[in-house]
Amino acid sequence: MSITTTRTSLPTGTWSVDPSHSNVEFSVKHLGIASVRGAFNEFEGALELGDDLAGARAYASVSVASVDTNQERRDAHLRSPDFFDAERFPKLTFESSEIRPLTPKRSRSPWI
């Protein structure tokens, strides 16, 4: 029996998040009892890949005003200065600091 490993080259370019096929969702415990689920309905993001992973970057942002938990009063409270303060901080942003290939041990799940 022999095992062969193959490396697949990554396609270069900028890959944008497709909002019609993507979600930005969350779930939090409320008072340690119930889970509250919600989403941000307005978001964007991209992954930029070059010839070398060292130069790759991922970034995304969501509009805080688009928070939606299916309860308008709660959503308004989340937008308030008590939580996100959407007026002062209208966007949540993410930018990668490093992108690296998975090791064989971590190839099954990024959460292990």
pLDDT digits (tens, 9 = 90+) for 73-107: 999 999 999 999 999 999 999 999 988 877 766 55
- Residue 29, domain member (yes or no): yes
What's the whole-model pTM score? 0.74
Q: How confident is the model at residue 112 (pLDDT cuts 50, 70, 90)?
A: very low
- Residue 38, domain member (yes or no): yes
48-75 pLDDT, tens digit each: 988 888 889 999 999 999 999 999 999 9
Q: Please write down the long-range contacts of 49-58, taking CB distance under 8 Å and 24 or more positions apart.
A: 49/10, 49/11, 49/12, 49/13, 49/14, 49/15, 50/12, 51/12, 53/10, 53/99, 53/100, 53/101, 56/96, 56/99, 57/95, 57/96, 57/99, 58/94, 58/95, 58/96, 58/99
Q: What is the CATH number of the domain that holds 71?
A: 2.40.128.110
- Residue 23, domain member (yes or no): yes
- Residue 104, domain member (yes or no): no
What is the total count of domains within the chain?
1
> Which of 15, 78, 69 lies closest to 47, judged by CA?
15
Q: How confident is the model at residue 32 (pLDDT cuts 50, 70, 90)?
A: confident
Domain holding 65, by residue range, is 13-96
